[in-house]
Amino acid sequence: MPVLDTAALLHWPAEKLQGGIVAHSQLEELRKLSPERAMLLESIEMEWLSIGTGDAEAAAVATGDLTRLSPVDLEVLALALSTGQKLFTDDYSLQNVCRHLGHPFESVSNKRSRELWSWELKCIGCRATRKVETKQEAECDVCGSPMKVKRSRN
């Protein structure tokens, strides 16, 4: 039983979704994006679960992807990690965290990411860098300028 990201719920035919594992929070997201699709999916036999996101958040911090993931993304990632099932997603940040952990994933309709990326905060003023640790905007400890999330050049 695969874990399905919202991209799969929106794009795959109903028969392909049957038996999939999904987060309750995805249903609310679907209601906003496509109310008709949400009604259809409520009638399909899928396993709707809710789970804490602590392990998923810790894994996303390790790669620097935390700022790029929504609460729904984190819950979907947590489901994949806790069940050990393959995650189907087009979200490159989710794919990046899975790749970092060695967790199986596949893309839904886009090309699969090809390599592991890491992210860092870089000051727009003095160009100082530091690890991404929270979702909050950061100020540079050196000069006080805003810091932006950039791909790390390991």
Same domain, 97 and 41: yes
Same domain, 60 and 90: yes
Tally Cβ neighbours within 10 Å of residue 133: 12
Count of domains forming the chain: 2
Phi–psi pair at 98, nearest 5 degrees: -60, -45
Provide the pLDDT for residue 135.
65
Provide the pLDDT for residue 68.
87
> What ranges in the chain are assigned the alpha helix state H?
6-11, 14-17, 24-33, 35-42, 54-63, 71-83, 92-101
- In which band, very low, low, confident or very high, does the pLDDT at 133 lie, cut at 50, 70 and 90? confident
Say how far apart CA 17 and CA 79 lie, in whole Å: 16
Provide the pLDDT for residue 83.
96
Taking only the tens place, the pLDDT of each residue in 90-124 is 999 999 999 999 999 999 988 888 888 888 889 99
What distances in angstroms separate CA 106 from CA 15, 75, 97, 147, one per listed residue? 18, 17, 13, 32
Mean pLDDT, all residues of the chain: 91
Same domain, 33 and 57: yes
Provide the pLDDT for residue 95.
97
HSE value, Cβ hemisphere, 13 Å, CA-based, for 65: 27
Q: What percent of the chain has pLDDT over 70?
A: 96
Taking only the tens place, the pLDDT of each residue in 58-85 is 999 888 888 889 999 999 999 999 999 9
The domain containing residue 27 runs over which residues?
3-106
CATH classification at residue 81: 3.40.50.1010
Taking only the tens place, the pLDDT of each residue in 22-42 is 999 999 999 999 999 999 999
Provide the pLDDT for residue 154.
57
